[in-house]
């Protein structure tokens, strides 16, 4: 498999007036093309920081990050963050507009994504006319518009209610697989991580170190909702839950 990125011995410290806080300590892992990897860990353990460092929005203290040449990240945030004064289509084109890549082909590409994922008739509406789940899908299209190699998903479903959450994670999973993207997702929801990913990285409480990495094996590959019924689901759930509950 084609390796897209590898992180070795990454650490991050925060400095306050009175103390130095070690947020991330000695983390190493790699990401391969086409993979869906989830990172789980207690809240506030530095998961988001890790993503921010990867995408150059924060700085690392020590360690190495090796990226494949010209690797492009696409970031999907916790909230759908739509600009209320712009139409849905213009919201989806925002990244292209800012990066000055709003070409005819790219606009066409985005419009096709809308059609493909059943949002065509909502293109010219304003965000507040859409449901939370729809807006989340638009947010994904906005991210895909930049044709990223790796999708970074930071708790992408946490602001949705439970039912839409299941539905949207199914939708998002399908879209990501269909577009053949690699994804790195941060979540605190174990079931979500196990049902959607190929690999789950379990982080500890602060300072955040890797506790375990699980390659998720299933009897049959399906959508996240189907995967929840898989025989091994409970087994992984139990393992990861114990990882998170019991400290060394």
Whole-number Å distance between alpha carbons of 131 and 159: 12
Pairing of strands 36-40, 62-67: unpaired
Which stretch, 76-84, 107-115, 117-125, 231-239, contacts another protein (CB under 8 A)? Answer: 76-84
Strand order in the sheet with 62-67: 20-32, 3-15, 62-67
Mark 103-132 with x for binding to another protein (rule: CB under 8 A) and - for no binding.
------------------------------
Minimum distance of another protein from residue 227's CB (angstroms) = 29
Instruction: List the structure tokens of 135.
Output: 């807006």
Applying CB under 8 A, among 9, 14, 44, 57 the residue interacting with another protein is 57
Whole-number Å distance between alpha carbons of 235 and 96: 43
**Range 208-227, binding another protein (CB under 8 A):** none
Of residues 74 and 133, the one with the C-beta less far from another protein: 74
Whole-number Å distance between alpha carbons of 122 and 129: 9
If you write DSSP's letter for every residue of 109-177 in order, what string do you get?
Answer: HHHHHHHHTT-GGGTTS-GGGS-HHHHHHHHHHHHHTT--SEEEEESTTTTS-HHHHHHHHHHHHHHHH
Applying CB under 8 A, among 6, 13, 61, 79 the residue interacting with another protein is 79
**Range 82-101, binding another protein (CB under 8 A):** 83, 85, 94-95, 97-99
Applying CB under 8 A, among 22, 55, 164, 223 the residue interacting with another protein is 55
Binding site for another protein (CB under 8 A): 55, 57, 75, 77-79, 81, 83, 85, 94-95, 97-99, 146
């Amino acid at each position: 498999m084609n390796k897209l990125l590898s992180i070795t011995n990454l650490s991050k410290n925060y400095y306050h007036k009175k103390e130095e806080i070690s947020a991330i300590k000695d983390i190493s892992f790699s990401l391969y093309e086409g993979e869906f990897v989830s990172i789980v860990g207690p809240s506030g353990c530095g998961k988001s920081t890790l993503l921010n460092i990867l995408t150059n929005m924060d700085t690392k203290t020590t360690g190495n990050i090796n990226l494949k040449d010209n690797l492009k990240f696409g970031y999907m945030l916790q909230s759908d963050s739509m600009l209320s004064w712009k139409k849905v289509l213009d919201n989806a084109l925002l990244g292209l507009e800012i990066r000055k890549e709003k070409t005819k082909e790219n606009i066409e590409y985005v419009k096709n994504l809308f059609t493909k994922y059943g949002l065509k008739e909502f293109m010219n509406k304003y965000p507040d006319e859409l449901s939370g789940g729809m807006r989340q899908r638009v947010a994904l299209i906005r991210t895909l518009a930049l044709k990223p190699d790796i999708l970074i998903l930071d708790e992408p479903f946490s602001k949705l209610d439970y039912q839409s959450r299941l539905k949207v994670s199914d939708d998002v999973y399908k879209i990501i697989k269909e577009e053949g993207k690699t994804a790195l997702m941060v979540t605190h929801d174990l079931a979500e991580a196990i049902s959607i990913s190929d690999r789950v990285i379990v982080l500890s409480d602060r300072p955040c170190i890797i506790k375990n990495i699980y390659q998720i094996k299933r009897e049959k590959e399906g959508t996240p909702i189907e995967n929840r019924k898989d025989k091994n689901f409970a087994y992984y759930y139990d393992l990861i839950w114990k990882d998170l509950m019991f400290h060394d």
